[in-house]
Structure 1
Amino acid sequence: MSQQQAVGVIQTLGFPAVLAAADATLKNGRVTLVYFDKGESGTFVIAIRGPVAEVKPAMKAGFEAADNTFGGKVATHYIVPNPPDNVVAVLPIDYSEKVEPYRV
């Protein structure tokens, strides 16, 4: 790919907040949702991938949407610009066949 790809991760308290975060990230940047899972103690996690310049505003929109959800709260978040190949190979953040049809 010509552009460096970033990964952004958001962990929220409660499912409605992570749903709002996922929706907002995809609507506010040219990014692809590559991961979703349940965390501990009622938390949920999503990861998005896309060009560095697109992940940053998408993540900001995701934080705001999660925090504006009734009872919602962002527990933690992080952006990794251009993660090394070994990180992508080991962690579940790469584009998979399952998400490829939705890749932007």
Structure 2
Amino acid sequence: MTTARRARKDLDLREMALGMISVSSFPAIIGTADMMLKSAAVTFVGYEKIGSGHCTAIVRGRITDVRLAVQAGVETAEQFGQLISTSVIPRPFPNLDAVLPINSRLSQYANGEYSRLNNQAIGLLETRGFPAMVGAADAMLKSAEVHLAAYETIGAGLCTAIVRGSVADVAVAIEAGMYEAERIGEFHTLMIIPRPLDDLEETLPVASCWIEQAKPVMLPLTIREKERELMQLPDLEKLSKEDRT
């Protein structure tokens, strides 16, 4: 590595930072991550679940951008009333990546997979208790043109149903699901994201039925093989006898 390249790399490391926000709700962490990504030029590393309802969103970028993103995320988490803690780590050592979540983008690139639900609005409805979540999911599917993408559990009895569709349909579905969750058990929180960014999209859980393998594009090819002309070879044995005489 040349001196100039080494200097640029050292400068990049000095300017980089990690930002983390921890909350006690899955919809809250998705909404917080969405706001962090939309408020500053940061990259979403992923989120970590450690049980008892604790979820942490992690972003990476330049120190100033990370601080702006964390500030915006804190405001969102406080609106939910779910904020637990925050942290900004300037100039993290590269080896710190060993404890960070790796988002699903890497596996998607490796396997050529993508979700048919991408680029649709996201609705997340969290309940305390599995029966309430299943009942809410059923009510959402029956009330609007939405697809049940997956569900997520984070401990402490918290379960989140995730639906995808148009913004209007997702809003109607979430409202119906909320009332059904309250009837069966305990509704906890909700979140609607109209236009999710790619970084957030790639970290959301998706049921296997919505995952497709990328298929190679088949192009029509016309291959012409030049015909070989057949020619009669001389009798090598006869030529050999003539050479001897």
Q: Please give the TM-score of this superposition, normalised by the length of structure 2.
A: 0.36
Aligned length: 93
- Structure number with higher relative contact order (C-alpha < 8 Å, ≥ 6 residues apart): 1
Partner residue in 2 for 1:90:
203
The equivalent position to 2:210 in structure 1, one of 92, 96, 99, is: 99
**1:74 aligned partner:** 187
Shift of the alpha carbon at 1:99?
3.4
**1:35-57 deviation line (CA, Å, top 9, x unaligned):** 11222111111100001110000
Residue 144 of structure 2 corresponds to residue 23 of structure 1? no
Deviations 1:46-91 (A, max 9, x none): 100001110000000000000011xx11111100001112211122
| 2:187 equivalent to 1:62 | no
Separation of aligned partners in 1, 2:195 and 2:136: 22
TM-score relative to the length of structure 1: 0.81
Look up the equivalent residue of 2:186 and give its one-letter code. Answer: K
> Structure 2, unaligned stretches of length 5 or more?
1-118, 212-245
Greater share of helix: 2
Given candidates 165, 168, 173, the residue that maps to 1:53 is 168
Query: RMSD of aligned C-alpha atoms?
Result: 1.6
- Displacement of 1:97: 4.7
Alpha-carbon distance in structure 1 between the residues aligned to 2:133 and 2:208: 23
In structure 2, the residue corresponding to 1:90 is in which secondary structure? coil
Residues in 2 aligned to 1:78 and 1:32: alpha-carbon distance in whole angstroms: 16
- 2:237 corresponds in structure 1 to none
Instruction: Give aligned-pair identity as a percent.
Output: 37
